[in-house]
Structure formats: structure tokens, C-alpha cells
Amino acid sequence: MFALLSEFIRNIGHSITVIVMDPEHRQDERTHLVRPGQMLLILGASFLTLFVVLIATLLLTPLRYYLPGYGTMDIRIEARENMLRIESMADSLALQAEYVSSLRDIFLGNVDASPPDGDRSASAAPAFSAGSSLLELPLPTLSGNWEDHQQPAIAISRLSTLSEPTAQIPLAGPSYLSALSFPIMPPVSGIITRGFDAQTSHYAVDVAAETGSAIRSIGDGYVIFADWVNDGGQVIAIAHAIGYISVFKHNSSLLKQIGDRVRDREVIAFSGNSGEITSGPHAHFELWLDGLAQDPRAYVLGW
């Protein structure tokens, strides 16, 4: 074999005759005129073609990702972009956590921003604009002591007084925020399964309702919170006149956003079973007045 190759190499520029013989002489001898230079050229072109096909296969197919060091720069660029996205998301989550923490402080009594004592009609609800931030709005004083929320947190005899027309506060042009009219209609249809209990920090009534039941606003107001929280799920809170705040938790979906104005009996959400602290589909309704949790049954007609 090596002798034949050496003959080809020595006569690379000449033509040589190759005789093919059958050792058993069963066939006639065959002669072939061979040019070693052309044979080497064809062999080299074949290897080059095979090499090009192999490289193209590695570079143009997913096999390229198995090559050591391939795409390192692209991976670094993509990793940097992902890191920037993560940092941006972390900043957004931090702002959202701070926002939710502010609302939690409002509901749990960790905010001290009480209005000065005086005539109640002079402290009607503040104006809310659609672009306002919750942190810019005047907040009521909240008490973290459950005994302060024992009923009646405000004398029931004052309900008739609070229901009377109060000073109208202008909001965003010619519109006004009407005071609540007691007793109010139930915000959702259903049977109360758990009542108000300040000692166990259940500042609400739970109403059994099928998922998707309409949750209606108890009066005119502005949405001051509408978002997801871990324990309460989809939560919406509405500020009403004279310091009232209504809160609905565990909703399946919300129909309003922060800053939206809502009208009395307008559908604001659909009941559900969202959040971690829930025992099944129901509507969770809280009512607050100047930071004190109120038993909604004293305010709602038929409860």
C-alpha cells in the first residue's frame, strides 16, 4: 500500500498506467491511465467539502452550543441584560412592598396622622385625584389595640347624625363626594358565616358567596388600594366621605384601579377565594371610621 502511494508521489506530475490483475486469472487484465496529481486534487477537494459541511452543521444547528467557548460573549450580554431586568424588578417590588406596608399600617394602626379635634362636619373626606399617591393623602389615626375596636367603636346613636348632609368638599372639578346614607345596602348577597371579632383581629364579616358574585360599593368614594396581597389575595379599598374606608378581600378579580371614582352600588370586584388566609369562596368586608374598625352588621340593612 505504501509502495503504491510512494509511486503516486514520485510521479505526481506524470501519467502512470495501473494494471489490475485477478490473482486466479479468471478475468482478463485491465489497465487504467492515472494522473496522481488529479487524484490528489480530487481527494483534497473531497476532504475540504466534508470539512465545510461539518463546520456548517456545527455552526448553523443547535450542535454549536456543545462547542467549548462558543457563544460566551452572547451569554455574557444576555446574562447582564437579565441582571438589569432582575434589579429593575427588585426595585419595583421594593416600592410595591413599601406601598403595601403603608396600607397595612393604616389597617393595623401603625400610622399616627390624626386630624385635629373639632366639629366632625369640618373634617369631611379629603379630595382624591386619579394621580394622587396614597402616601400623599391625609390618613386617619388607627389603633393597634383590639380593645379600641370593641363595638360600638363609635356610638350607634351617632349614625343618624352622621347620615345628615355634611359640608360638600369639591373634587376634581364640579363633582362632589356624597356622604354615606345609613343603613347601607349589603355590598354582596349571601349568608354571614363569620362575624366581627376585634379580640381575634377579625375586623370584618365574612359572607358566603359563590366565586364571581358581584361586590358593590357601599357608597360614593375613591379607590385608594387595588392590588394583590399575600394573605388577603385581591384586595380593594375605597375611601368614602367623613373618614369611612371600606375594604373587600379575597376577590377573584378587581374592576377598579387606584384613583378611580366609584358610585354607590357600582360593581367594583367579583368575590372569590384568593390569598393564603381563606377557608373557601366568600366575601370579606371591613368598614373603618377614623382608624377604628366598625362592625358592618350595625351599618348594613338586614344584617
Provide, rounded to the nearest whole percent, the portion of the chain with pLDDT above 70: 73
Task: Tell me the sheet residues that pair with 39.
Answer: none
Which three cell numbers mark 59?
455552526
Classify domain 125-298 at the CATH topology level.
Glucose Permease (Domain IIA) (2.70.70)
Distances (CA, A) of 39 to 20, 46, 47, 155: 17, 11, 12, 110
CB-side neighbour CA atoms (13 Å) of 4: 6
The residues near 123 (Cβ < 8 Å, ≥ 6 apart) are 115, 242, 243
> What integer pLDDT is reported at residue 93 of this predicted model?
74
| Domain parsing of the chain, residue ranges | 2-65, 125-298
Q: Is the pLDDT of residue 133 over 50?
A: no
**Main-chain phi, psi angles of 38, to 5 degrees:** -65, -40
Instruction: State pLDDT tens for residues 33-76.
Output: 777 778 788 888 999 999 999 888 877 887 776 766 665 666 77
Q: How many Cβ atoms are within 10 Å of 47's Cβ, its own excluded?
A: 10
Which of 74-78, 95-99, 141-145, 268-272 has the lowest average pLDDT? 141-145
**Main-chain phi, psi angles of 181, to 5 degrees:** -115, 110
E strand residue ranges, the chain: 16-20, 30-34, 170-171, 175-176, 191-194, 205-208, 214-216, 221-229, 233-239, 244-254, 261-262, 267-271, 282-289, 292-294
Q: Is residue 179 a contact partner of residue 169, using CB atoms and an 8 Å limit?
A: no
Mean pLDDT, residues 273-290 taken together:
91
Q: Is residue 163 a contact partner of residue 181, using CB atoms and an 8 Å limit?
A: yes
Angle, CA 94 vertex, CA 93 and CA 96 arms, to 5°: 60
Mean pLDDT, residues 237-250 taken together:
93
pTM: 0.51
Q: Is the pLDDT of residue 287 over 70?
A: yes
Which three cell numbers mark 175?
363633582
**CB neighbour class for 217 (10 Å; exposed up to 12, middle 13-18, buried from 19):** buried
**Main-chain phi, psi angles of 192, to 5 degrees:** -70, 125
